[in-house]
Structure 1
Amino acid sequence: MIEKLISEGLTSELFAALDAGLMQIFVVAVLASLGVCAINIATERWHGIYSFDWDVKGIQKVHHRTVPRTGGIALASGVIAVPLLAGSVYPDVFLGEESRNTMILLWLTATPAFLAGIAEDVTKKVSVRLRFCSILASALLAAWMLGARLPRLDFFGIDAMLTLVPVSVLVTAFAVVGVTNAVNIIDGFNGVAGAAVVIILAGVGYLCWREGDVLLAQLALAGMGATVGFLLLNYPTGRLFMGDGGAYFLGFWAAELAVLAVARNPGIITWQLLAVFAYPVIEVLFSIYRRKILRDTFAGAPDRLHLHSLFYRRIARQKLSLKRYPWMCNAGVACFVTTWISSATVAAILFGNTVAGALALVALQVLGYIAFYMRLVRGHWGHCFNPAVIFGLLPQHARFA
């Protein structure tokens, strides 16, 4: 139908059909995800022995009751429902054969990472190395089945190397694994990872739509819809957690859309997308630096020193009533993270159309992250911009324990 409208020059009818199709993709994903979430919660008495997050005393834990960690099943179900169900209702209007096949293939490539995460959620015995290898396998599958590899980084001297397929695949796999783990790292408070991914996918989807890439806009909306359906029962009180399975699935989905956006659209700058993804990426890189360089510990070891964790301890618990409304302190963290990411996304769309502008946005977020992190650790703004303090060359003299 879309091809017919184009051939007849009916521009207004074309956009009306596309808008209706995009809305239906979103609605189907929301309803499918919400339905699976509701079933998950309603049946928790039977599967809770396996799915509950029993470790409420863990170093990163802030919840005080057991909650199922199997929300990832709803997220994956919400996405796959679009090509399987919505595509069979009005396939010629809003989800053509190419979009349907691409969505299914991308979903299949996410399976290794998703299954490894779900296995960890249920058994709590899947090693970090095995999960890392599973995400890597998903990235390599996407490069093979969808051609999802970065053709450029918009960085002088490196783009020429990416013309070599092995180098391009290696760099892409590294980036996808990093972003996937980054989403998992920022997960830990109600609504944080889910809302972050919704905003990121909205930014990527809009950039693709602006370039005329309807297919990737559809993929972004499917991911957004599935996540919104999950958030309806996750935020603000946390009736269901996405777990590692959900975090890996969403992180992989967003990362691969970014890779495909660069590969398919010359008008989209790589650094522009990095400006959208900056918060979780900075979080994972700074966490590795903090653990490995400053503390000489295992880079994957859990701790309570992420920026969002410090915000919870230093601001949310002090400004909000922890005893009267304990869920409000947890939910307040999402307000901080979403404000950051939404501001960065809007700025990237408006001012990231050049390499210089996008680089400036990334640099601004790095400096802002470090300064705010130092402020939360030290309890005041003094020397927060001192490079010696930032890089751990001088003691931080933290006010809080």
Structure 2
Amino acid sequence: MIEALKPLVLAAVVTLILGPPVLAFLRRLKAGQTVRSDGPRSHLAKAGTPTMGGVLFLIGLTVSTLVLAPPSPLTLSTLILTWGYALIGLVDDGLKVILHRPLGLMARQKLGGQVLLGLVAGVAAMLWLGRGSVIQVPVTGWHWDLGWYYPLLAALLLVATTNAVNLTDGLDGLAAGITLWVALAYGILALTLGQGELVTFAMALAGGCLGFLVYNFHPARVFMGDTGSLALGAAIGFLAIMTRTELVLPVLGGVYVLETLSVILQVVSFRLTGRRLFRMSPLHHHFELGGWPESRVVLFFWALAIIMALAGLYLLTI
């Protein structure tokens, strides 16, 4: 277990060291975040905070994984996929904050890139990385061979996870803190499965998030942007794919699911009845507008993330 902590520590240290120069560069680039005018008024003070800070933990994750993981197609695949989704987010962020195109990438461009990467990842996992096309149904012990439908499931999973993390990234330290616990759960799971490369990757991901929180917890000095949120979602999604826990991910990453469901339910309720279920969605804003301080909301969701991660691990033992 001590060996498994090395990637976490190295990624955290690299992320911490890179913080000051990267933040200075983003300020010179004038990569400041714009803030929604219809959001909580307390968020208006965040306008201009540097974004695209996801590159910080991405570098920490990459350095730690390459230094400590056994060189293999799986190691490279996890990093390439994570950076691929990060690149989509980086382009989107750049268009918004540097070229001042408020909407960034067009929705179909962004979604198209995510689906394409997801399909490639599904095929690679099935044919080249030894994952196969069988999914396991938790608790029941059932197995289901999807054959060539598996890449479609993989793409759906990756697109859903990346966008769920993106929705979750609305408060200082929220997405990074939640992903820290989900990544730790996957590190423990991979350790029990004897998947050394995934142990290193998952723990390095947790370490990158931990180091990033020093700069991202309230009051945040930098935001991860879509660069970071899409990368985190891809990393978690691919961990689920390679550990064959696609159907357990909604429990392990239960907070992502709650945040996404709150948005869906809000839209459906308003269209059908003209009323909103929540003060504002995603769900974290509902608590904010209810008078909770931002840090309290974040810590509450972190605690919920820990409970869900433990529940997911327990589910795999039944």
| TM-score, normalization by structure 1 | 0.68
CA deviation profile, 1:329-356 (whole Å, cap 9, x unmatched): 22222111111110122233235523xx
Q: In the aligned structure 1, how far is the partner of 2:143 from the partner of 2:316? A: 19
Question: What residue number does 1:290 align with?
Answer: 266
Question: What residue number does 1:341 align with?
Answer: 305
**Does residue 275 of structure 1 match 2:258?**
no
**Does residue 245 of structure 1 match 2:227?**
yes
2:92 maps to a residue whose letter is: E
Task: Say whether the 8 Å CA contact 1:185–1:284 is kept in structure 2.
Answer: yes
Report how many residues are paired: 298
Question: What residue number does 1:53 align with?
Answer: 33
Name which structure has the greater RCO, CA cutoff 8 Å, separation 6+: 2
Q: What SS does the corresponding residue of 1:295 show, helix, strand or coil?
A: helix
Matches within 5 A, 1:326-337: 329-337=293-301
2:95 to 123, 128, 141: 123
Tell which deviates more after alignment, 190-199 or 303-312. 303-312
CA deviation profile, 1:184-224 (whole Å, cap 9, x unmatched): 10111011100110101111221221222222211101111
Which protein is bigger by CA-based radius of gyration? 1
Question: What residue number does 1:96 align with?
Answer: 70
**Does residue 163 of structure 1 match 2:146?**
yes
| TM-score, normalization by structure 2 | 0.84
Matches within 5 A, 1:99-178: 101-124=73-96, 125-147=104-126, 151-154=134-137, 160=144, 162-165=145-148, 167-178=149-160
**Does residue 307 of structure 1 match 2:283?**
yes
Question: What residue number does 1:90 align with?
Answer: none
1:120 maps to a residue whose letter is: D
Q: What SS does the corresponding residue of 2:263 show, helix, strand or coil?
A: helix
Question: What residue number does 1:379 align with?
Answer: none
Q: In the aligned structure 1, how far is the partner of 2:177 from the partner of 2:270? A: 31
Question: What residue number does 1:261 align with?
Answer: 243
1:116 maps to a residue whose letter is: I
* Identity over aligned pairs, percent: 21
Deviation at 1:43, TM superposition (A): 3.0
1:136 maps to a residue whose letter is: V
CA deviation profile, 1:138-169 (whole Å, cap 9, x unmatched): 2122223343676215188x954x4322x111
Tell me, which stretches of 5 or more residues in structure 2 are unaligned?
97-103, 273-278
Q: Residue 235 and residue 63 in structure 1: after superposition, are their counterparts in 2 closer, same or farther (change >3 A)?
A: farther
CA deviation profile, 1:52-82 (whole Å, cap 9, x unmatched): 0133535478251311111111122111112
Task: Say whether the 8 Å CA contact 2:158–2:234 is kept in structure 1.
Answer: yes
Q: In the aligned structure 1, how far is the partner of 2:84 from the partner of 2:308? A: 31
Q: In the aligned structure 1, how far is the partner of 2:206 from the partner of 2:77? A: 18
Deviation at 1:315, TM superposition (A): 3.7
Question: What residue number does 2:25 align with?
Answer: 43
Q: In the aligned structure 2, how far is the partner of 1:261 from the partner of 1:272? A: 10
Q: What SS does the corresponding residue of 1:208 show, helix, strand or coil?
A: helix
Tell me, which stretches of 5 or more residues in structure 1 are unaligned?
1-17, 88-94, 263-268, 297-302, 317-328, 355-401
